[in-house]
Amino acid sequence: MAEVRVEHVTKTFGDFRALDDVTMDFPDGGFFGLLGPSGSGKTTLLRAIAGFLFLDAGRIRIGADWVEDVPVEKREIGMMFQSYALFPNMTVADNVGFGLRVRRVGAAEERRRIGEALDLVRLGDFGDRKPHQLSGGQRQRVALARAIVTNPRVLLLDEPLSALDKALRVDMQIELKRIQREIGITTIFVTHDQEEALALSDKIGILKDGRMIQAGPPREVYRNPIDIFAAEFLGEANILRRPGGTLPSSGVIHLPVTATDASALAVRPENMTLSATEPVAEGLSKMSGILAQRVFSGALGICLVERDGTVVKVIARDEDIPDIAEGDTVWISWKPEHTIVIPGG
Amino acid sequence: MNGRVLTIAGRIWLGAILVFLYAPILIMALMSFNASPFYQLPFEFSTRWYQALGANAEIREAALRSVLIALVTTTIATVLGTAASIALFRYEFPGKRALRILLFPPIAIPWLITGTAMLIFFFGIGMGRGTPAVIIGHVALALPYVIVVVSARLATFDATLEDAARALGAGPWMVTRRVTLPWIAPGIIAGALFAFAVSFDQFVVSYFLSEPGDATLPVLIYTAIRKGFTPEINAVSTIIIVVSMLVMLIAARYSKFGGER
């Protein structure tokens, strides 16, 4: 187990800047999510930590060692690939034991550790199967067992759950978190699924165009996004005002004290309340609009309200939404502390 | 009704093709078992020409030489071709596309031209004719076949498997030996069989590059026909055809021209 530090890492492919001066700390034993849209550099960053590419500039430390010049096979990492990359000509046990055989731990030790790793991922009886005889979820567990059986210093996961269907994905998230806690390994994973990142991570990093635009605990990043991109990428955000713009004219909006002309203002859809008439309670921020659409999705209701040519999204428990029809004038209100000040705009 | 006519026409067509391809070979094979030296009918079964072959030291030596040259050629071409295919698959380098394209024309260039060019070249560098020249020539002819077949198999290989093996601590050699080679093994076997066939059946280049004293089997057959035709030639040709067709059938089974097993 070890901490990881990435320092001013830059990597270009031709004219394309895949990573641009990226710095981030991954403390020992934590679970870290790297997220961003495709082409943002998240996978490149993971592959740089693994050692699959040479850096143009910058340094990478795993534990006490600077490793940017160390080849992949000497970095003592565990990695799980999106496609799982199980060796098709080998049994499950041989797949899991591959890294042990490379390290020549001896037959008895090898058998014992393969057994332990397979038990950990609850596949104790599957050692003799071939990869093509397993389901997607089982293959994923084998890939995980293979990645951790060598006691790597850091576990790297590239879109680990994206090939699974939704129900299985949620199960595997819980499973992954359990295993990571149990062995306490520093884990860095890449995902484009923001919910997955929020659910699993102790700390997330958001990348855009090769730059690390914000890193921190998920709740903190969610509540205090550094810019509009981060606000809209992580969850949803109704932008009330862009930097230098004006606030909606109708209604009352209490400005947070930290707001300046250069900052943007936003409110999360789930923090807004809908009412048919103007709310009378003191201290609320509020504005009116026309209900454009109301969508019932089981537990939650989603309402789109049009005002000043923009659409505001409100999400609430369906039973908390008043009896209103599309085309009605409605009021949206929220507590002033739910107005997010976005300093970077 | 229309479809039936087409089916029948198709069958006749297919039959015609098979007759066209195999009739001469079949007749030759049959005649190699006919006792008469002048192709006289009625057919009288005999293995006398095969027995005569066994007694013919010249043919035996030429056959042995052909097999040895084919084995050496196969070994060299398969090792070089497999290594080249893996390099072409794994690494990006300037001129890679050009190199890939340049590997194909040798298959299309008439062997007569290739043979002439090689003869001039080997004399130019002072090496002259002889078995080493024949082997080098055969390797040059066989190499593109190996690369094409092995590369086709490699195209079905998931390169992430190599990444996975490296992440698990395997160095480049171990990755190749434990992960890449097992996957492309059918392609390598098929490529080797093609290389063997190209060398063993080779006449033109062998004829140009071999010295009169140490002819390969096809060269010897050609010289023998010029002196006068004997059914012994039918017998030896039949053996060559059976061996070559077996090699090709095995190659086709292993490669399916590059696809899955």
pLDDT tens digits along B79-115: 999 999 999 988 888 888 888 888 877 778 888 888 8
Q: Which of A75-89, A239-253, A280-294, B216-230 has the highest mean pLDDT?
A: A75-89
Name the interface residues of A facing B (CB cutoff 8 Å): 50, 52, 71-74, 76-79, 81, 83, 85-89, 98-99, 102-103, 146-147, 150, 156
pTM for the full model? 0.79
Q: Which residue in chain B is spatially nearest to A85 when comparing CA positions?
A: B161
Best probe of the A interface among B168, B173, B176, B177, by most A CBs < 10 A, is B168
Query: Between chains, do A103 and B160 touch, taking CB under 8 Å as contact?
Result: no
Q: If you average pLDDT over every residue of chain B, what do you get?
A: 84
Position B261 scores a pLDDT of: 39
Position B258 scores a pLDDT of: 41
What is the percentage of chain A residues whose pLDDT exceeds 70? 99
Which residues in B lie closer than 8 A to residue A52 (C-beta atoms)? Answer: 163, 166
Angle B231-255/B57-90 helices, nearest 10 degrees?
20
- For residue B16, which phi and psi values (nearest 5 degrees)? -60, -40
Minimum distance, in Å, between the CA of residue B148 and any CA atom of chain A: 23
Beta carbons of A339 and A263 less than 8 angstroms apart:
no
Give the pLDDT mean for A235-264.
81
Of residues B186 and A345, the one with the higher pLDDT is B186
Least CB–CB distance from B167: residue in A50, A87, A89? A50
Which residues in B lie closer than 8 A to residue A76 (C-beta atoms)? Answer: 169
Domain ranges, ordered by start, for chain A: 4-223, 245-342
Query: Between chains, do B161 and A87 touch, taking CB under 8 Å as contact?
Result: yes
Give the DSSP H/E element, type plus range, for residue B205.
helix B204-209
Give the pLDDT mean for A221-245.
88
Architecture of domain A245-342: Beta Barrel (2.40)
Query: Between chains, do B178 and A98 touch, taking CB under 8 Å as contact?
Result: yes
Position B2 scores a pLDDT of: 65
What is the percentage of chain B residues whose pLDDT exceeds 90? 27
Q: Which residue in chain B is spatially nearest to A146 when comparing CA positions?
A: B168
At A324, the pLDDT band (50, 70, 90 cuts) reads: confident
Q: Is the dihedral of CA A214, A217, A221, A226 positive or negative?
A: negative
Which residues in B lie closer than 8 A to residue A98 (C-beta atoms)? Answer: 165, 168, 170, 178
Query: Between chains, do B163 and A52 touch, taking CB under 8 Å as contact?
Result: yes
Query: Between chains, do A87 and B165 touch, taking CB under 8 Å as contact?
Result: yes
- How much is the ipTM here? 0.84
CA dihedral A292, A296, A300, A305 (to 10 degrees): 0
Domain ranges, ordered by start, for chain B: 57-258
Residue B237 pLDDT exceeds 60: yes
Residue B155 pLDDT exceeds 50: yes
CA dihedral A82, A84, A85, A88 (to 10 degrees): -150
Of residues A249 and B139, the one with the higher pLDDT is B139
Q: How many CB pairs under 8 A join A and B?
A: 56
The CATH number that domain B57-258 falls under is 1.10.3720.10
Calpha distance A119→A93 (Å, rounded)? 12
Class of domain A4-223: alpha beta
Picking from A156, A206, A210, the residue whose alpha carbon sits closest to that of residue A185 is: A156
Q: What is the largest CA-CA distance in chain B?
A: 73
Position B255 scores a pLDDT of: 62
Which residues in A lie closer than 8 A to residue B166 (C-beta atoms)? Answer: 52, 71-73
Query: Between chains, do A146 and B163 touch, taking CB under 8 Å as contact?
Result: no
